[in-house]
């Protein structure tokens, strides 16, 4: 059965179809960007929640980290890297005492020490001595390691080595001993104004 429509009925059906199409287009034009924006905002919210959870976890561990930091700071204070005497004369004496002790404990033999002129470098005074000693190579390595890896922080420089034979060649005793000269320096903090 075929329905025939009159001209006015066709106009109404066509107008209704166009109206429906227009409503669908307007709905799509408004709703598609809104749903895309909603998805983007939801993704941002999820990212923020993830960050918030991460930061909460960090904040929960903060007390433990602060305690570890305080312990590490107590164990290895920056101030113990310097010669902490009240005057430069006492700092020079302390540096000489450190050198004497380390040389003796490493098996070396101290010949002489000479104090170098003091140098001010910004908020520090560089205390330096020249050391002349005798030692075997094995003991010298131990000494240098002990000087440079201890506290206060000390610096070796101007190292000169010269080999000496100890004993006579006729007895067959040719243990090599070294004549050693080096500069040893440390720093003293100046009181800040």
Look up residue 129 and give its two tokens: 């001595």
Q: pTM of this prediction?
A: 0.53
Residue 169 structure tokens:
């060649």
Measure Cα distances from 189 to 97, 161, 177, 192 in Å: 19, 32, 37, 9
Q: Which residues of 34-61 are buried (b: 16+ CB within 10 A; e: fewer)?
A: eeeeeeeeeeeeeeeeeeeeeeeeeeee
What would the 3-class secondary structure string for 111-173 be?
EEEEECCCEEECCEEEEEEEEEEEECHHHHHHHHHHHHHCCCCCEEEEEEEEEEEECCCCCCC
pLDDT at 135 over 60: yes
Q: What's the confidence (pLDDT) of residue 121? A: 81
| Predicted pLDDT of residue 167 | 55
Q: Which has more confidence, 83 or 53?
A: 53
Query: How much of the chain, in percent, has pLDDT values that exceed 90?
Result: 14
- Region 1-30: mean pLDDT is 86
Give per-residue pLDDT as tens, 101-126: 888 888 888 888 998 888 888 888 88
pLDDT of residue 45: 93
Residues in the chain: 193
Confidence of residue 168 (pLDDT cuts 50, 70, 90): very low
CA 134 to chain centre: 38
């Amino acid at each position: 059965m075929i329905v025939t429509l009159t001209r006015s009925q066709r106009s109404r059906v066509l107008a209704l179809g166009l109206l429906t199409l227009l409503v669908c287009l307007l709905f799509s034009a408004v709703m598609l960007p809104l749903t895309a924006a909603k998805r983007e905002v939801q993704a941002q919210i999820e990212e923020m929640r993830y960050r918030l959870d991460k930061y909460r976890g960090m904040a929960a561990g903060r007390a433990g980290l602060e305690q570890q930091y305080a312990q590490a700071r107590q164990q290895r204070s920056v101030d113990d890297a310097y010669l902490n005497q009240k005057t430069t004369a006492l700092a020079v004496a302390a540096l000489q005492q450190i050198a004497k002790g380390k040389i003796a404990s490493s098996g070396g033999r101290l010949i002489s020490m000479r104090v170098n002129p003091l140098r001010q470098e910004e908020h520090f005074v560089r205390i330096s001595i020249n050391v002349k000693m005798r030692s075997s190579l094995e003991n010298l390595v131990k000494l240098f390691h002990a000087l440079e890896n201890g506290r206060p922080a000390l610096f070796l420089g101007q190292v000169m080595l010269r080999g000496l034979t100890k004993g006579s060649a006729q007895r067959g005793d040719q243990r090599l001993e070294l004549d050693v000269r080096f500069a040893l320096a440390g720093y003293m903090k100046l009181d800040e104004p």
